[in-house]
């Protein structure tokens, strides 16, 4: 790429066209102020964009947050994350910065886990492994058993007797052919979430699950699992995709191989933790709220950079951009960093019903919880009329290279608000790289790009502001 002279010329031309464009719009909006679907707020959106990209403060804040380490629900690091975000919002001069207490479970991984193949043909072969969140420990000396490989619960039912006394190895890969990797995740995740229940029903003594990622590498990915009251609890772990491929290969050659598994997890007593709240109070309708949110807890591998440090710092950065540009919203724009999304969602549930909510009306909640990647669009949960109304603002997001507002919605944290009539909106970033990092030791600051992260914050700031001004 070195066609420079042409570029330089083009740049001047583009700049000229852009200025004419801006000028025409500012002319139109002063002519037709207050009418719907006019290019209002284009100058403000441009200012937010420029300030954000110049300063990249979302990334600077994410660096501070990830320096704390992983923020597993109930951990000391999660508490340190709460302190940091509260302090940062106060330092930025936000209004009404406070904590809202919630009770959270506390599960800990314990000492390093261990898994290995033990084969009379191949000897001992270690597997990269991690307990699934919520799993019980193995007995102190571990479990050693033969392995049965299945791709689905249907498979498992077919093999029912054969699973007895064995470790059930769920090896369904995420479907790479899907452009939407979240859909591929959704399709494959049940083996991790309820695999231990299904395996126990079939008489299995433990489960090993192929990590939910599209990469073939040696990083195990954790996540949440459930037990059921009437089914016996067995230990559950994820192995890396390389490990899963290897185990599958070796099983073809030695069906009698054993796997040794040792997990050291513990369920401790619940503790008090907090949602972190701060805002720019609306000048005209302070009790009408637009929430910007993410979740502050993370898994205990990596440091929760994409999931969901990104969403938290984007919410704070959106407020900072508005505040420092002295943009004063008519309605309140509030950042909420929810605790405990990963381990049960109590932060989102308790926020929606907390005492302070009674006098408030939540117009909209915008959540970022799909990684700090290039934002592509917003997904809106609400009536077709609401969607259509909000689509009228699409032109503002074209400044950022985003091109859609579509049907969709937010995630776990803001779902309880949706039940109260709040319009929930999800920031939808590019999903191609997300599961490389998700819930693994690879989810660290270096996996996040400052400009991609910032563009998400900018998009949230612009959307929150126009809703704060114009309603929904």
Residues near its own copies, by CB under 8 A: 1-5, 7-8, 10-11, 14, 49-51, 53-54, 56, 176-179, 182-183, 185-187, 189-190, 193, 214, 223-224, 307-308, 341-342, 369-370, 374, 376, 399-401, 403-404, 411-412, 415, 430, 432-433, 436, 438, 449, 451-452, 455
* CA–CA dist 282, 270 (Å, integer): 36
Read off the tokens for 264. Answer: 């050291």
Helix/strand/coil for 9: helix
* C-beta closer to its own copies: residue 355 or 384: 384
305 in Cβ contact with 442 (< 8 Å): no
* C-beta closer to its own copies: residue 52 or 278: 52
* C-beta closer to its own copies: residue 93 or 186: 186
Q: Smallest gap, in angstroms, from Cβ of residue 77 to its own copies?
A: 19
Q: Smallest gap, in angstroms, from Cβ of residue 470 to its own copies?
A: 24
Q: Smallest gap, in angstroms, from Cβ of residue 5 to its own copies?
A: 8
Q: Smallest gap, in angstroms, from Cβ of residue 436 to its own copies?
A: 8
* CA–CA dist 129, 240 (Å, integer): 6
Is there a cis peptide before residue 326, judged by omega within 30 degrees of 0? no
Residue 78 sits at φ, ψ, to 5 deg, of -60, -40
* C-beta closer to its own copies: residue 5 or 359: 5
Q: Smallest gap, in angstroms, from Cβ of residue 30 to its own copies?
A: 25
329 in Cβ contact with 469 (< 8 Å): yes
The residues pairing with 291 across neighbouring beta strands, listed in sequence order, are 334, 365
* C-beta closer to its own copies: residue 116 or 221: 221
Q: Smallest gap, in angstroms, from Cβ of residue 25 to its own copies?
A: 17
Neighbours of 388 (CB within 10 A): 11
Kindly compute the dihedral angle of the four CA atoms of residues 204, 208, 213, 217, in this order, to the nearest 10 degrees. -150
* C-beta closer to its own copies: residue 195 or 278: 195
444: which DSSP letter? S
124 in Cβ contact with 259 (< 8 Å): no
Please give the helix or strand (H or E) that residue 58 lies within, else none: helix 57-67
Q: Smallest gap, in angstroms, from Cβ of residue 300 to its own copies?
A: 14
* C-beta closer to its own copies: residue 96 or 190: 190
């Amino acid at each position: 790429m070195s066609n420079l002279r042409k570029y330089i010329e083009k740049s001047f031309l583009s700049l000229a066209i852009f200025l004419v464009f801006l000028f025409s719009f500012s002319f139109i909006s002063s002519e037709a102020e207050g009418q719907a679907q006019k290019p209002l707020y284009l100058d403000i959106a441009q200012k937010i964009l420029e300030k954000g990209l110049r300063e990249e403060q979302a990334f600077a804040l994410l660096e501070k947050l990830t320096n704390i380490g992983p923020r597993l629900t109930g951990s000391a690091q999660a508490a340190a994350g709460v302190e940091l975000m509260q302090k940062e919002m106060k330092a930025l001069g936000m209004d009404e910065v406070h904590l809202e207490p919630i009770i959270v479970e506390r599960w800990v991984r314990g000492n390093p886990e261990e898994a290995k193949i033990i084969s009379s043909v191949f000897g001992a072969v270690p597997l990269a492994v991690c307990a699934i969140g919520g799993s019980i420990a193995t007995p102190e000396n571990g479990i050693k058993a033969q392995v049965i490989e299945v791709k689905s619960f249907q498979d498992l039912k077919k093999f029912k007797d054969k699973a007895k006394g064995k470790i059930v190895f769920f090896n369904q890969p995420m479907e790479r052919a899907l452009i939407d990797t979240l859909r591929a995740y959704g399709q494959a995740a049940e083996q991790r979430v309820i695999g231990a229940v299904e395996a126990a029903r079939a008489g299995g003594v433990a489960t090993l699950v192929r990590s939910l990622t599209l990469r073939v590498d040696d990083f195990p990915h954790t996540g949440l699992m459930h037990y059921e009251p009437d089914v016996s609890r067995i230990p559950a772990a994820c192995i890396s995709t390389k490990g899963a491929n290897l185990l599958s290969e070796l099983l073809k050659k030695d069906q009698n191989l054993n796997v040794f598994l040792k997990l050291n997890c513990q369920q401790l007593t619940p503790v008090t933790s907090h949602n972190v709240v701060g805002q720019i109070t609306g000048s005209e309708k302070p009790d009408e709220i637009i929430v910007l949110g993410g979740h502050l807890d993370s898994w205990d591998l990596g440091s929760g950079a994409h999931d969901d440090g990104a969403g938290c710092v984007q919410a704070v950065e959106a407020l900072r951009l508005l505040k420092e540009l002295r943009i004063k919203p008519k309605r309140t724009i509030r950042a909420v960093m929810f605790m405990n999304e990963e381990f049960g969602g109590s932060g989102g549930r308790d926020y929606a019903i907390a005492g302070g909510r009674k006098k408030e009306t939540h117009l909209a909640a915008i959540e970022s919880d799909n990684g700090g990647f290039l934002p592509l669009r917003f997904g809106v949960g609400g009536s077709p009329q609401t969607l259509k109304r909000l689509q009228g603002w699409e032109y503002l997001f074209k400044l950022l290279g985003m091109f859609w507002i579509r049907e969709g919605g937010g995630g776990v944290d803001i779902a309880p608000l949706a039940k109260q009539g709040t319009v929930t909106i999800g920031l939808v970033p590019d999903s191609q790289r997300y599961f490389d990092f998700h819930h693994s030791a690879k989810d660290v600051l270096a996996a996040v790009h400052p400009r991609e992260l910032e563009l998400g914050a900018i998009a949230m700031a612009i959307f929150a502001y126009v809703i704060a001004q114009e309603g929904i």
